[in-house]
Chain A
């Protein structure tokens, strides 16, 4: 079932949660709503679920106007951040709940309910936990039960509100892959809210990035990573180095990547750590700056360097492969030449000052 969000705005008292947000989610798609806390992503999810009412705009489910429809009649499955399992019911009772509360006309027979519960327990790999209570399960298991419970009523839309954020890193990664597999199996339209850019980029077909109640950009993970539409998106999608336009004016002429502003005076440049080239020798075109190695983080597949560049108040982060690191044979205090393979330039209005303050190497 498709979801259309049309010019939705929502305020809570004086706080504006969403401003004029529109997006369309195709049937069978998995879309992640990504943004920092307070960006309105959870509000948008709750509006789609019918748990909140918008101040203006409308929501269409399967092409039908559904803005006024109550949450219990939208045919959605909702998974909460803190699971919200019914603590006084066993795992199978939890999963069966949505079927048992259906009106007598629609309700499946006892046997059908039992079969459906068994099928779902199998799907979430918790077959032997049927008779246990939620408090006897680990966080990851509870969230799988919550998903099974949401899927029991065969929802046409599955909404997940930061489902893995309360879990530890390893479990989170496993569940993320597992969610993707389930989605590929069932093809139910899914909207996932997350503040974890890695999770969003890895799991979703498309990612919608929200900031301060506005939709900044929506696209496939690759397209938004490669072509961020705004400094915010660039900054939010992973580590980045920020340069004042003036400082690296001659460097930027070498970079390209669709520069939006040729005036180096008023531009800020973004370079991802892996886009920085490093060399002991001055490159042939002489367009490089000298940097000092301030710190080396050598744990992990990539080596991360913190570099001090004269005139830049904050250190710059560079990433390179182990092989390249060994070739350069760097130690702390070494001087070397640095230049960007590519750089993305944005206008540098005053409103961007906050970003600049955060400096390089976030």
Chain B
């Protein structure tokens, strides 16, 4: 290895310091600010802010939406990745492109698309209202918007992982007499479990925090169609800063938990290390 000169060393230190400075300025300080603001009126005030009926109801709705959207996307993600990595079929590249659409499209646009389809004046609106089904400005719309936005997370995590693993083990299982179902449960799922969990956590975190798409379809009915991020915005717009930051701190906590889980998975399973090692080997 080359020995760096003094100037190079100084340059390196300067770069690291700059990175740390930016990181603390843009990331760490704001996170601290959220909690400081939330707790500025004391611990009791913080608890009371969270224990408001509206905040609790928003919390419940957010949990409910995540509980529906995440399993749906797990199922979709597994199905899509299996199809893409294990089979050749017409329209495969189209499917791969479609999976990425939610990442490319602004969430607001996603919300508007659902309004256009399911809204009162949308394509299916009249039929839906005849049958007394409420999608827009109701929970189903929020779930749909969240599913759309979190669509790619599981699949994008699984596809490269399953490509790197190859299908040899599955073929071996088939030759040994296993049917499709047992191949999936006994071979595929155990092999992808960490990558699946990783993608699921990302999807869960996004579905808890989603604002734009949900905001368009929700209608902001307090206690009914308001998720936690929407509640934060509404409280903030009402100049109820302490309550807004208290609710925001819950979202921040969720994010921190996500990061810790993500790191733990990386450490125990080597999900993201795995692919680097492959490259080194070959």
Residues of A within 8 A of B (CB): 49, 51, 71-73, 76-78, 80, 82, 84-88, 97-98, 101-102, 149-150, 152-153
Contact = CB atoms under 8 A, between A and B. Distances in A.
B175 A71 contact: yes
Contacts of B279: none
B168 A88 contact: no
Interface of B: 168-169, 171-179, 182, 186-187, 190-191
A150 B175 CA distance: 9
A87 B175 contact: no
A72 B178 contact: yes
A80 B190 contact: no
A82 B165 CA distance: 12
Nearest to B171: A51
A98 B183 CA distance: 11
Contacts, number: 58
A72 B179 contact: yes
Contacts of A72: 174-179
Main secondary structure of the interface of B (DSSP, over half): helix
Contacts of B168: 80, 82, 84
A97 B186 CA distance: 9
A101 B191 contact: no
A195 to B, nearest CB: 19
A51 B175 contact: yes
Nearest to A79: B172
12 contacts: A71-B171, A71-B174, A72-B174, A84-B169, A86-B187, A88-B191, A97-B186, A98-B177, A101-B176, A149-B172, A152-B176, A153-B177
Contacts of A76: 175
B175 to A, nearest CB: 4
Nearest to A49: B175
A84 B191 contact: no
Contacts of A86: 169, 172-173, 186-187
Contacts of B173: 86, 97, 101
Contacts of B186: 86, 97, 101
Contacts of B190: 88
